[in-house]
Structure 1
């Protein structure tokens, strides 16, 4: 059975990654309220269904994408159950066709591993090398559910606070697209 903890409103006592620690530090400094759970490792959207139930929200799917030359990077945030179509994404942004970025780049550029891609990776992107792209349907949701930078920690936060407070604070203005 997949473990999901009780709901907490405070950061974890112990941090697994530098990104996770910085995520909670920034949320607290911006006075952005959150609730969180600790879980068994969840690297698939199927595992996130249990988290969705516990937190009464829908987990987003965060994809790290790049062009063939690996010179343009995107963090695409969409609904968890929505299929990704590279052609549609590329057409909406009027960019070259994209695909999933290599695992090594995810770790070096975003500070996360497979299954832990998160909007909070923008904390590490101080050169704005990664464009943040949010599906219009995600932007319309009241709640934003995502990883805290690990595969064992998940948050529920106001979507508006992610878009209007957190992202501008870390120097990113997201593109919101309808795909």
Structure 2
């Protein structure tokens, strides 16, 4: 059975990574309330089902993408149930075809490993290399569920506070696109 802790409303007593520490420092500085849980390692969207139930929200799917030259980067945030089609994403943004960025670039630019991509990763993007892109459907949800920069810490925050307060603070103004769930 997948372990999910009781809900907590304060930062952890100790941190697993520099990014995780920055996440909670930023939320405190911005006075953004959150609820969080500790879990077994969660990598897939299926692992997030129990977390969704516990926090009474829907986890977003966060993908780190790049062009073939690995010179343009995108943090794409969509709903868990939408299939990702690189061609549709690229056409919608009017950019050249993208693919998943390599794990080593994800660690280098975002400070996370596979499974821990999060909107909070932009705190590590000091050179502003990454364009944040939201699927419009994510913005329709009251709550935003995501990783705290680890694969064992997940949180629930008001979506509007992520988009309007946190991303402004992190100097990453998102683009919003409308993606259809087509097979």
Task: Kindly state the Cα deviation for residue 116 of structure 1 after the two structures are TM-superposed.
Answer: 0.1
Instruction: After superposition, give the CA deviation of every residue in 1:72-121 in whole Å (9 maximum; x if it has no partner).
Output: 00000000111001111101110000000000000000000010000000
Q: Which runs of 4+ in 1 moved over 4 A?
A: none
- Partners of 1:111 and 1:94 lie apart in 2 by 28
Alignment of 1:5-20 (within 5 A): 5-20=5-20
- Find out whether 1:153 has 2:167 as its counterpart: no
Task: Kindly state the Cα deviation for residue 127 of structure 1 after the two structures are TM-superposed.
Answer: 1.5
- The gaps in structure 1 that reach 5 residues or longer are none
Residue matched to 1:134: 134
Task: Kindly state the Cα deviation for residue 69 of structure 1 after the two structures are TM-superposed.
Answer: 0.5
Residue matched to 1:171: 171
- Partners of 2:178 and 2:14 lie apart in 1 by 38
Partner SS, residue 151 of structure 2? coil
Residue matched to 1:3: 3
- The gaps in structure 2 that reach 5 residues or longer are none
Alignment of 1:105-144 (within 5 A): 105-144=105-144
Residue matched to 2:25: 25
Alignment of 1:48-59 (within 5 A): 48-59=48-59
Task: Kindly state the Cα deviation for residue 126 of structure 1 after the two structures are TM-superposed.
Answer: 1.8
Residue matched to 2:41: 41
Partner SS, residue 47 of structure 1? helix
- Partners of 1:29 and 1:73 lie apart in 2 by 27
Contact 1:74 1:133 in 2 (8 A): yes
Q: For this pair of structures, how many residues does the alignment match?
A: 179
What is the TM-score when the length of structure 2 is the normalising length?
Answer: 0.97
- Partners of 1:82 and 1:17 lie apart in 2 by 30
Partner SS, residue 14 of structure 1? coil
